[in-house]
């Protein structure tokens, strides 16, 4: 007995809207859980970026690659550090997200958190071993980005020991 696979557009719709129940109900039909849209986003990247904790977890449970990168090199963890979703960041890290992956310009999740004032995420990334010495293509570190933004709290976190 063969099971029909779920059309990939339905999976992207569920990720975009946060429909974790749909993802869980059809997980057995998810043959292409890491399928990409025209920008290279996977359903996991979309669910995480849009702040859908339960859908993110459902996709991980269905076997989504926690470190998948879009065509620019961005990961789900980078997206949540940009948007400011600490609970999703914690989930991704628990499920194996690499806090030191770099996108196409050399940036990291820590850099996104520092640049966009997500200080709880700066602390979380550092706690989980984010390398604060990494430099992106312009030669800037997370500390440099925090200084540029006038983010004193992040500067203090990044300047510690």
What lies within 8 Å, CB to CB, of 57 at 6+ separation is 20, 91
- Structure confidence at residue 6 (pLDDT): 65
Q: What is the pLDDT of residues 122-148, one digit of tens each?
A: 999 999 999 999 999 999 999 999 999
How open is the CA angle 21-64-90, to the nearest 5 degrees? Answer: 80
- Closest to 86 (Cα-Cα) out of 127, 131, 58, 145: 127
Q: What is the pLDDT of residues 66-101, one digit of tens each?
A: 999 999 999 999 999 999 999 999 999 999 999 999
pTM over 0.85: yes
Q: Rounded distance, CA 42 to CA 36, Å?
A: 5
């Amino acid at each position: 007995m063969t099971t029909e696979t779920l059309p990939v557009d339905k999976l992207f719709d569920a990720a975009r809207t946060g429909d974790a129940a749909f993802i869980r109900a059809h997980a057995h039909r998810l043959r292409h859980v890491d399928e990409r849209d025209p920008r290279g986003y996977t359903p996991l990247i979309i669910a995480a970026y849009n702040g859908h904790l339960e859908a993110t977890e459902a996709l991980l449970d269905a076997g989504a690659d926690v470190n998948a990168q879009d065509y620019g090199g961005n990961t789900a963890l980078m997206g949540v550090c940009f948007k400011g979703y600490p609970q999703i960041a914690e989930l991704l890290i628990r499920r194996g997200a690499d806090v030191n992956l770099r996108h196409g310009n050399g940036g990291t999740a820590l850099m996104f958190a520092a640049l966009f004032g997500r200080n709880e995420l700066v602390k979380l990334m550092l706690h989980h071993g984010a390398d604060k010495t990494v430099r992106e293509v312009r030669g800037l570190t997370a500390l440099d980005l925090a200084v540029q933004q006038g983010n004193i709290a992040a500067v203090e976190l990044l300047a510690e020991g």
